[in-house]
Structure 1
């Protein structure tokens, strides 16, 4: 059962060459942060290219519930009239973050140092995910959290009346946790310091600097040290959201494994903390090229061209790269199925606590479709069959997880037989135009 309504079965059939431009949606990570920081600034922030998936729309509704004026002007153009740092009003109702772990964790951080009480909930998937990784550090500021057993939603957060700044070493690579602590630090006096042993996506740091916060990043023996001076007056910005590399992963990977394909993904964000998949695909022998490389709003951007790559080789993916591509491992495992030899993925235990247990979900579905997979707590190995040799033909479970659903649809495009899905409904949470976009390139994905 989808967390967003009646299940939507889907089937992806083997297709001909994929051709054309894939105009994927705006980057989800940057879209969430644009709305939240816009709400914490004083004045009007203008956003173009916002991803209008359910996850981001839920964040926009939350900011409106906190007192910001959030306006949809159409065509991905939005404006946010912010209430300033520490200016959040107490919402009248429960904040429903739908399927979005990013949304709920960032919003918890942003409100944790405001003198308000907020109750959060989500869909069945989100309500099963652990929140202690955020509620533990925000408690150091003085916030209190009461939730279900295991630190799960629904959960009520009582914001700190007199917040104190903290020094926090993130125990696992997590941009969500780092960002939640930094957002909480905005309304704490003095300096909040976050230390991460492994670098994770740095959109929050880049955007905080753009909004006028005093923030510095240094490398030390302890790792990456981020220092934020609290209680600034954030200045409204004009933000052009680059297109989402995580969404681009699906047409790019489909092109790489489908004979005769040549797909251009324009204006894709190539932040080095996000582009690990493309580096990995190139190491496997994928024909990927960057065109028109440039910088927009402090973020590196390029047009990415992906072509069919018949001689893919299995590799051992550098574990240090995991944080830069954690959401892309499911679709990478699909590409690995069409490579020659084993693709080894280590240091990926974070996949066990995403919208689903993504290692188990992908391993189970790939096995049903004739691909051998070995797995452990924080590793898995896909034993590739080579181009044209993946049987397909099975029905897979999405587990209420949009990336699992889309990954299996990509598998069906190049397998010998169609691949079906029990429920493709969750796709709308992050990639609402997935079906028409892929159809425009020449795929054969149907509902029912």
Structure 2
């Protein structure tokens, strides 16, 4: 799973207007959860539109290692035969999570309340990411965790059975921590509560309820209170995964900044806990129209038509941060082409992603002629007023797929060619990204 092979550099093929229709990969968050919950249901679940990137395939491999049968049909539909809550088996070897922080943190939660022991390993980027925010509540539930220094991978979780229900108030806004605790709660007798002062993406709650878990969400004095009754019996489901808004983000920004562009992005998930970038871009003046708005599997979905527009710098509202945390690199690129300056703060979380995305994007933008100021929790970006940026620089992606894709978009409206040092990590979330760039720009990259 690790990207230990030699890097794959890429030179962005310069200005080209984008036109056409594309469909982005399935939502990564929903894909991970659909595999995990299907593996805990008894019977056959079917998943259509699953994101087939390396991160999600790591989750599939881990669930197979713990007893689930997971098969991809020739029709592209995945069929999962689950083992039931409480039925996970002891994996024979370490679970290699590759680059996937979501897989790691959520699966630690699953293991924490089962009578098994699992060792988690990952690539260099994942092994540098701290896991303490998840290990703290799981230890309170009774799991025993042995981690490498700094609470990093490799890390071993010895599950507690029975685990202990807890009331846990999230110290940071993190859907991964919330989800890890809720997944541990599935096999824990009694009621486990997660208190969320700042709402984060709610795919876990929607999907747990869809699979038949006893779950309530209420507004309390300290925030949202999610209560889950343990020893759940999950029922198999048929799931259609909407397109990933985090992947659609790159085309929304690209079509907005490249003159003459007109792109339709089909089947984009518009869950309000994930649609912050759409809101922010519209505040900047982007031309984004929702076509055929519909609900698929409990999730709001639409086709998005995005046309080139003149963007203006804004102060991004702090309360948008949780609903667009993965889209900040793309937003910084949009800001680079806006009129005036954009201040995007309230996003400390970016420091502990696949890379330090604040530092990495600042360096990447500055290398290509964009003036920025770095803050502890974000960036101020001075825009070109719609003109081409200078370009000519080489981007250090730091093994981060979103840095690679964001700066590829920046290179589409640059005077000099932008070079990306390594696009191999893009396979973790969006294997077809560069083919779709060729399709939309009407030429081979």
Instruction: Work out whether the TM-score is over 0.5.
Output: yes
Q: 2:292 is matched with which residue?
A: 292
Q: Spell out, residue by residue over 1:386-405, the C-alpha distance to the aligned partner (whole angstroms, 9 max, x if none).
A: 11241111001010000001
Instruction: Tell me the alpha carbon deviations over residues 356-397 of structure 1, each in whole angstroms, 9 at most, x when there is no partner.
Output: 000000000101111111112113211112112411110010
Q: Which residue does 2:362 correspond to in 1?
A: 363
Query: Equivalents in 2 of 1:403, 1:13: separation in Å?
Result: 19
Match of 1:185 in 2: 185
Residue equivalent to 1:166 = 166
Q: In structure 1, how many angstroms separate the alpha carbons of the residues matched to 2:378 and 2:433?
A: 29
Other structure's SS at 2:124 match: coil
Q: Residues 14 and 444 of structure 1 are in contact (CA less than 8 Å); yes or no, is this contact kept in structure 2?
A: no
Q: Which runs of 5+ in 1 are unaligned?
A: none
Q: Secondary structure at the match of 1:7?
A: coil
- CA displacement, residues 234-257 of structure 1 (integer Å, 9 cap, x when unaligned): 000000000111000111111111
Q: 1:72: Cα distance to partner? A: 0.9
Q: Give TM-score, length-normalised by structure 2.
A: 0.98
CA-based RMSD: 1.1
Alignment of 1:416-435 (within 5 A): 416-435=415-434
| 2:31–2:241 contact (8 Å) kept in structure 1 | yes
Q: CA deviation at 1:443?
A: 6.5
Runs of 5+ in structure 2 lacking a partner?
none
Question: Partners in 2 of 1:5 and 1:321 — Cα distance?
Answer: 37
In structure 2, the residue matched to 1:28 is: 28
Once residues 445 and 434 of structure 1 are traced to their aligned partners in structure 2, the CA distance between those partners, rounded to angstroms, is: 13
**Partner of residue 3, structure 2:** 3
Q: Deviations over 1:334-357 (max 9, x none)?
A: 010000111111111000000000
SS of 1:316's partner is coil
Deviations 1:297-356 (A, max 9, x none): 1000111011011x2100011111101000000011001000011111111100000000
Partner SS state of residue 294, structure 2: strand
Using the size of structure 1 for normalisation, the TM-score is 0.98
Question: Structure 2: how far apart are the matches of 1:385 and 1:369?
Answer: 12
Contact kept in structure 2, 1:44 and 1:82, CA below 8 Å: yes
Which residue of 1 is the match for residue 334 of structure 2? 335
How far does residue 75 in structure 1 lie from its aligned partner after superposition? 4.9
Greater relative contact order, per chain length (Cα 8 Å cut-off, separation 6+): 1
Moved more, 376-385 or 323-332: 376-385
Matches for 1:366-445 after TM superposition, within 5 Å:
366-442=365-441
Deviation at 1:440, TM superposition (A): 0.4
User: Would the aligned equivalents of 2:38 and 2:45 in 1 still touch at CA under 8 Å?
Assistant: yes
Partner of 1:128: 128
Distance 1:170 1:297, change over 3 A: same
